[in-house]
Each structure stands twice: as C-alpha cells, then as structure tokens.
Structure 1
Amino acid sequence: MSRPGAVTFKGNPVTLAGDALAAGQDAPDFTLHFFEGGMQSLAKGDLAGKPTLLSVVPSLDTGVCAIQTKKFNEQLGELGDKVNAVTVSMDLPFAMNRFCGAEEIKNMKVGSDYQDRNFGEGFGALIEELKILCRAAFVMDASGKLTHVEYVSEVTNEPDYDAALAALKSAL
C-alpha cells in the first residue's frame, strides 16, 4: 500500500510505501545490515528481551539526522545495557560505521536497510519518490510490540525525543 502525502520533505508532499503502524501492534520482522569487522546482519529477533528504540533517519550525512543520532546517543547513556537502540537508514554500512566512529556514537547500533528495503516497507517509512527513509521513531517492548510510533510530519524536523524516551523507559 502507498500513502501519498503522508509526510512532507522540504514542504513537498511525498508518498510512503507500506502501511502506517500504530502502538499496540507487533513490530514487523526486518533484517538490517552493519559493518563491524565484516558485514553482519541485525534482525528483529536479535533485539528480543529488551525494550528497543528504532531511530529512523534519511541519511547520517545530513545535519538533522546527525543531531537526532547524537541526541538520542547522549540521552541513552543513563540506560546503559538495559535497552537496545538502533539508528536505521539507507546509508551504506561503511558510511554508518565511519559516522559513528567520528561522532563517538557508543550507545546505539546502526542498521542499514540498503539491500532490500524490508524495514522501510514493513514499517511504512520508505519515501517512494526518493528511495530513502522518512524520519521516524519507534519503540518496541521486550516482546517486539510497538509502544511508541512517530512519523515526523516534515522530514527535515526533529522527532519528539521526550516522547520516544519516555516510552522506552516505561517499557523497562
């Protein structure tokens, strides 16, 4: 399913592929890719057992996406290993790894949806016209049920950090 005009990008309406998700639903299955000593995969099942923040960005090489990732990384420090946190984008795993090293991102993993866009389509976050992900924040509880869903209405705006972190903490 496509959702024309679901969000805007620089004021222009764009179409999101996939259904809009809502709190209370089971999160769709997904497989992301990252580079750590070699190409590896990260699936929904790998995150089971802990509440998880999925911070979705169009590209880490843009200002707002960098701010979002750094802000969540900083605020997640107090939760330690009680939660999972993943920044998701279409960036190549090598670029994501470089960004995290340069910016000292230590409290979040990264996952790339570049191979088959299964995350973007399953979570209803793929911008069809641009083939990148919209800005969004999802929180799953330890069993994989969504407790927080935010599709940022204007892709160039930041998400509601407080709401996402409150949902993450309440899932502990």
Structure 2
Amino acid sequence: MAKVTFKGNPMTLIGDEVKVGDQAPDFSVLDTDLSEVKLSDYDGKKKLISVIPSIDTGVCSTQTKTFNERVADVDNTAVLTISNDLPFAQKRWSADEGLDNAVTLSDHKDLSFGRNYGVVMEELRLLARSVFVIDENNKVVYVEYVPEGTDHPNYDKAIEALESI
C-alpha cells in the first residue's frame, strides 16, 4: 500500500491501491451541478485524474491550474480534478480562478473514487494527493501517490505519460 504523510503525520489510506497496468476502477462522484459522473462517462478519451485534498489550498489550487493549462492542447483528453470538497466550493473556485471549463468533481457523498483508488486518508476524511493517467480503454498507464500531502506531484512525468499514449 502507498505510504503517505500529511504535514509530516502518517496517514492510513483506505481502499485498494491502483497500479500501472490495472484496469481503472469505475467510480461515482458529483459534478458542480450535483449530477452523477462516472469514469465510463469518459470512455474513449485519455484521462488525467488529478486528486487533491482541498481546492482552497495553495498547492491544490496550483495543481489544478497547472494540469488544466498544460494539458489543454493534448488531443482527446479529459482532465478531472477530484476532491472531497463540496461541489459548491469547487464551482466557486473555478469561477474565481477563471477556469470555467475545468472539470472539478466531488467525492464527498460516499467516497466512491477514494475507496476504489486507495486515496482516502482515514484520519482526515480527505483524499491523498495523487495523479492517475488512464488511456482510452481505461487501462492505467501512470500512477503517483505523492508521499507528502503538502508537496506537489511530478507534473512533468504525469504529462509525459499522458502524451505517450
């Protein structure tokens, strides 16, 4: 199982760790309009799933902006940012940052994504910072569980993996 800390404190991750080569598990999360979204809604597209603890923090905000800006020109690709933030907070953040086209999804309802991808930090009920790149056939081609939750992911490696599909 991936080992992560948050502000130096060890976290217990709930769920199954996802590995390169796995078939990406499906999940059910909420869009900012409270509609249900599943992985299968993006069948046939490449997906970069950017997982953050909370959109209202500096690193999470930067991560969301960076992936949305740097992946904008990659054909047939969806960038999905998933956190346990309420959909209303995600919608407000997107409007405040001028990223109205950013897809921010909330796992607050039942932790479906977090449990299926092994990123629920039990002690905080937040999602551990991580990145998953999934091809058009829902095969996982890149995984990063960021060891310290307040650190940035490796943007370059994730984008290289996406561009290599």
Equivalent position to 2:31, from 11, 31, 34? 34
Q: What does residue 17 of structure 2 align with?
A: 20
Residues 76 and 107 in structure 1, CA contact (< 8 A), matched pair in contact too: no
Residue deviations 1:87-140, cap 9 Å, x none? 000000111011011112255311100100010011000000100000000011
Give structure 1 stretches of 5+ with no counterpart. Answer: none
Q: What does residue 7 of structure 1 align with?
A: 4
TM-score by length of 2: 0.95
Equivalent position to 1:149, from 140, 143, 154? 143
Distance 1:35 1:8 in 2: 29
Distance 2:98 2:159 in 1: 20
Equivalent position to 1:165, from 145, 159, 163? 159
Aligned residues: 165
Could you say what secondary structure the match of 2:3 adopts?
Answer: strand
Distance 1:12 1:92 in 2: 25
Could you say what secondary structure the match of 2:105 adopts?
Answer: strand
Q: What does residue 124 of structure 1 align with?
A: 118
Is the alpha carbon distance of 1:168 and 1:132 closer, same or farther for their aligned partners in structure 2, counting shifts above 3 Å? same
Distance 1:107 1:85 in 2: 10
Residues 21 and 149 in structure 1, CA contact (< 8 A), matched pair in contact too: yes
Q: What does residue 101 of structure 1 align with?
A: 95
Distance 1:28 1:143 in 2: 12
Instruction: Compute the displacement of 1:77 (Å).
Output: 2.0
Hey, which bits of structure 1, 4+ residues long, moved more than 4 A? none
Instruction: Compute the displacement of 1:29 (Å).
Output: 1.0
C-alpha root-mean-square deviation of aligned residues, in Å? 1.3
Give structure 2 stretches of 5+ with no counterpart. Answer: none
Residue deviations 1:40-79, cap 9 Å, x none? 1110100110110000000001111001011111112222
Worse-superposed segment, 56-65 or 27-36: 27-36
TM-score by length of 1: 0.92
Q: Percent same amino acid among aligned pairs?
A: 45
Could you say what secondary structure the match of 2:5 adopts?
Answer: strand
Distance 2:137 2:153 in 1: 24
